[in-house]
Amino acid sequence: MAHTRRSFVKTTSKAAAALGISSVIPWQSLAQSKLTAPSDRLNVAAIGINGMGWEDLRHLLKVPGTNVIALCDADENVLNKRKTQLALTGVQVKTYSDYRKLLENKDIDMVVIGTPDHWHCLQMVEACSAGKDVYVEKPAGNSIEECNVMSAAQKKYNRAVQVGQWQRSVPHFVDALNFVKTGKLGKIRTVKAWAYQGWMEPMVAKPDGPTPPGVDYKMWLGPAPMRPFNPNRFHFNFRWYWDYAGGLMTDWGVHLIDYALLGMDAKFPKSAVALGGKYAYPDGPEETPDTLATLFEFDNYNLIWEHAQGISNGQYGRDHGIAYIGNNGTLVLDRGGWEVIADEKRMEAVPFQPSKGSGLENHMINFVDAIKSRNFNKLACPIQAGAHVAKVCQMGNISYKTGTRVVWDAGKEMFEENRANEFLNARYNNGYTVPKI
């Protein structure tokens, strides 16, 4: 048996190499699923499988008892590639170009949503309505209205909904947060979060052109405004256009600002002011700012977000991170680990504590555990938590769009400025409407 398994791995690895595939799902995980009784298996489907949706699915299938049965993508080329990768592991799946047809499949227990941000709300709500548990990529919603709708839908349909803010499941992030809660840093007066992404190089402007063969562009756009196809707005780069996403603020910001908020037990800021623009690449086709500094005002402290594309040397020598700056010392945290820099002799420094464990894998284990137990309080990042930080990030983007400081009325859940309130709600197009819960 061992010899047969080794031969199988070698065969699939050679086939993968021939196809240029570098991320075949581990066969051991799929074998574990096949050993699980059918009545105990959770049948999985994935919608949007080009980038993080595929990574999410790969890590989910490492959890024993999960079984992928369906894939959906508006790009047939991506769909066929992923179907082939699964076939190399002996798994056959149904494929769909329309997610609504996939949701009609009553054999599906849970859905992974890895589509662009402008699709998250509609697909999550419809999946919950169809009786599926949902793992939805971050940010939760692409507007404050959508975030509220998604939270309400989870409550109405009583489904497990985990948001892809997997840093909540990284052990060293949890350890760092626990240290912050000890109070040893003293009074925290400033929290900083930043993402300096040197690897994100500028795009070159390209003309509109015909839709590539195999792409259902109308389905890809969905509720976004109808525009001619442009390769710069497609796949990974969708995040730099307001029609579909919110730039680095909602891409990396939801991860890092989430922990900034958690460390301070923060609700919503009293105000936000964002300054920045396309300073590095003014002639590029991107719409969202490549450079941004945002100040969120809370009682007795400030939270500062910074991001920059094309620069790697961020604060404390890190290209991303969170810093809790207290009277006694500063705790600096990123995906590599954390440390405490003491302020003179007011406290003992804490040497660098390196990362340990796989956050995304732990996040999926947590998700499956909550599904099987039906105890949604176990979720590391339930939709309510994901919606919270997404709304805070939207506040920053709304300040940038209006060019003014915006003041939040927590009681009314709206801004004091009429101009800012124009950006609260989603604007759906092409016959789509925001779900009513």
Environment class of 209 (CB within 10 Å of its CB; exposed 0-12, middle 13-18, buried 19+):
exposed
User: 343-373: buried (b, 16+ CB within 10 Å) or exposed (e) per residue?
Assistant: beeebeebeebeeeebbbbbbbbbbbebbee
Q: pLDDT band for position 15 (50/70/90)?
A: very low
CATH architecture of 170-357+388-421: 2-Layer Sandwich (3.30)
- Taking CA atoms, 243 is separated from 3, 117, 300, 350, 417, in Å, by 53, 9, 36, 44, 23
Angstrom distance (rounded) from CA 213 to CA 48 = 18
Q: Minimum mean pLDDT among 16-20, 244-248, 280-284, 358-362: which range?
A: 16-20
pLDDT above 90: percentage of residues in the chain = 88
Question: What mean pLDDT is predicted for residues 238-251?
Answer: 97
Domain boundaries, the chain: 23-167, 170-357+388-421
Does residue 12 carry a pLDDT above 90? no
Q: What is the pLDDT of residue 36?
A: 56
63 beta partners: none
Does residue 117 carry a pLDDT above 50? yes
Q: pLDDT band for position 40 (50/70/90)?
A: confident
Does residue 132 carry a pLDDT above 70? yes
Does residue 21 carry a pLDDT above 90? no
CATH architecture of 23-167: 3-Layer(aba) Sandwich (3.40)
Question: What mean pLDDT is predicted for residues 376-385?
Answer: 98
Question: What mean pLDDT is predicted for residues 365-388?
Answer: 98
Angstrom distance (rounded) from CA 233 to CA 248 = 15
Name the DSSP letter for residue 53: H
- Does this chain's domain 23-167 share its CATH topology with 170-357+388-421? no
What's the whole-model pTM score? 0.92
Question: What mean pLDDT is predicted for residues 2-15?
Answer: 36
CA atoms within 13 A on the CB side of 139: 32
Q: What is the pLDDT of residue 356?
A: 86
Tens of pLDDT along 421-431? 999 999 999 99
Question: What mean pLDDT is predicted for residues 287-298?
Answer: 98
Angstrom distance (rounded) from CA 61 to CA 97 = 22
Q: What is the pLDDT of residue 345?
A: 87
In sign, the C-alpha dihedral spanning 94, 98, 103, 105 is negative
In sign, the C-alpha dihedral spanning 39, 41, 42, 44 is negative
String of DSSP letters for 306-350: EEEET----GGG-SEEEEEEESSEEEEEETTEEEEEE-TTSS--E
Q: What is the pLDDT of residue 6?
A: 35
